[in-house]
Amino acid sequence: MKTKFYFLICLIVLSVALAACKHQIDAKMLVGKWNYTKVENPYSANPPDTVSAQQLADKKPSISLSPKGELLMIWGGKVLSHGTYKLVEGSISYTEQLPDGKTRIFPFWIKELTDKQIIFETREDDAVRVTAKKE
């Protein structure tokens, strides 16, 4: 009986500790235009395949998130992708509108968010990490 009691106490303590580790994201802080400052593949088997500072300066990539849940990605002055988003447990769940009228959903994990900078990653085997500054 004591063993079950200690197990239950340990389980509760572990649950509280894990809940405290989840970072909370303020959805209002996401809203705005974010200009990319760094793009990398941090988990690549080869050295991270990054976009050069010159390419970023030339193409001026950005991601814009509206208060209405709209998302717009710009690269080289053109719309690269658009759709809607919602915040789900520390991630942006992005529903991309494809040219044929179909959609695809994929998450961006928010690694860091301040009032001036965001770092987010795609959640795939060949993940891409983006660092961006708020305009």
| Sequence-ordered strand ranges (E) for 1-135 | 32-40, 62-65, 70-75, 78-88, 91-97, 103-113, 117-122, 129-134
* Whole-angstrom distance, CA of residue 83 vs CA of residue 68: 11
Mean pLDDT to the nearest integer, 107-133: 93
Question: What is the number of residues in the chain?
Answer: 135
Structure token pair of residue 128 = 């891409």
pTM metric for this prediction: 0.79
Residue 9 per-residue DSSP state: H
Name which residue leads in pLDDT, 17 or 116: 116
Residue at 7 is within a domain: no
Residue at 6 is within a domain: no
Residue at 61 is within a domain: yes
Residue at 16 is within a domain: no
Report pLDDT digits (tens) over 69-101: 999 999 999 999 999 999 998 999 999 999 999
Q: What is the CATH number of the domain that holds 65?
A: 2.40.128.280
Residue at 84 is within a domain: yes
Report pLDDT digits (tens) over 15-74: 333 334 456 888 899 999 999 999 998 887 766 668 888 999 999 999 999 999 999 999
Whole-number pLDDT of residue 11: 34
Number of domains, the chain: 1
Residue at 57 is within a domain: yes
Domain extent for 98: 23-134
Residue at 68 is within a domain: yes
